[in-house]
Amino acid sequence: MNLFDKSGEIRVTAFKDQCDKFHRLIDDGNVYFITNGCIKPANKQYSQLKNDYEMTFTGETMVQLCDEDDNGGIPEIKFDLIPISQVSNMENKEAVDTIGICKEVGELQTFTSRTTNKELKKRELTLVDMSNAAVTLTLWGDEAVNFDGHVQPVILVKGSHVNEFNGEKSLNMSWGSILKINPDIPEAHRLRVWFDNGGADNIVSVWRGGASFSSELITLKDAYLRNLGSGDRLNYFQCIAIVQNVIQPNSFYKACPQMYCNKKVVDEGDGQYRCEPCGTVSPNFKYFLRVKIKISDYTSDREVICFGKIAEQLLRHTTDEVVEASENDPDRALKIFTDPNYTSYIFKLSCKKIVYEGNVMNTLTAQSMTPFNCKEYNKYLIKEINRMQNIAAS
């Protein structure tokens, strides 16, 4: 647990007996007298608190709840609030306290942890503030389930952690993080007034659904001219493009039935399927979508591969429905594969070099597809024009 007083904060650990003894007594938000704790240098690997020491409870430790009268001198939790615009300059895993308006709220997502096999629940919020920036904050567990963002509340977080993924930085609630909704502090009231008067209308750096302009928005021709994906590393970029056509043949394959392996299996011919990467042979397989599409913008066109969930999003049907139609209902399949034509998306693409039969090729894979929103894009363009005018003027 983390303790705070008017001078600062400290991490406290109670092991075995002490844990059993105290865990029912101690509750979030209460004030306690603590005597005979043992102080030692902090293990910074586990603690993000601003204290060089931490406390351990021992057999001698006493914990006593303070009455209302006693805690007059002890302030609320201390926050070291930073503007959201600064998050992009922070290091991965660094602790962040910040406050912003929840401009957008994502759906609750449920998935199974790869490492523990436990079911996890999360929800992503988009926070904005007067620094004219936006950041994604991920809530977990009950906090994610119970969160109601439709009223666009003020959100204050303490001890959230910077999470860097594909060069984009977001905030993550983790053990010891604190979330306050509509806290009664002056910063919150200022934000409310600013937001309710349209202050955040021009903030477009985060797009609902995970796509964001923090990886560069360029044209297909730019991507070609810059030789993206020609080196040994994956490159990422975003482009606004239209789906020209979807290639129907070979749009799915028999894949390894293991949950996180989507590799093609080898049909052994005796009712067994072998997965080379997993080194397993099993009597079943699952179908997995691998759909090639051609996309174009005003500069060029390119072939892009959509896998799994993204292919389902594109075709607006589940894998089973696509396989069923492809095998048994040619008319329906044709409709499924032509319906996506001429729809616009913001594609987030990864770009990499592959060597196939001695030829070096460059393939694009869709990482996400966000339906294109003209209004939001206009805001982005206006912001860009203003930025360029400022450069020209200075």
> Binding residues for Zn ion, per CB under 5 A?
256, 258, 261, 263, 275, 278
204 Cβ contact list (under 8 Å, min separation 6): 134, 213, 376, 379, 380, 383
3 state SS for 37-87 = CEEEECCCCCCCCCCCEEEECCCCCEEEECCHHHHHHCCCCCCCECCHHHH
Q: How far is the CB of 114 from Zn ion (least distance, A)?
A: 14
CB 92 within 8 A of CB 160: no
Q: Would you say 281 or 388 has its CB closer to Zn ion?
A: 281
Q: Would you say 204 or 265 has its CB closer to Zn ion?
A: 265
Q: How far is the CB of 266 from Zn ion (least distance, A)?
A: 11
Q: How far is the CB of 284 from Zn ion (least distance, A)?
A: 12
Q: By C-alpha distance, which of 230, 228, 250, 249 is closest to 238?
A: 228
Q: By C-alpha distance, which of 244, 321, 335, 331 is closest to 289?
A: 321
Q: How far is the CB of 120 from Zn ion (least distance, A)?
A: 22
- Secondary structure element (H or E) that encloses residue 326, with its range: helix 319-328
Q: Would you say 258 or 300 has its CB closer to Zn ion?
A: 258
Q: How far is the CB of 257 from Zn ion (least distance, A)?
A: 8
Q: Would you say 167 or 279 has its CB closer to Zn ion?
A: 279
Q: Would you say 19 or 259 has its CB closer to Zn ion?
A: 259
382 Cβ contact list (under 8 Å, min separation 6): 202
Under DSSP, the state recorded for 208 is: T
Q: How far is the CB of 314 from Zn ion (least distance, A)?
A: 24
Q: Would you say 132 or 282 has its CB closer to Zn ion?
A: 282
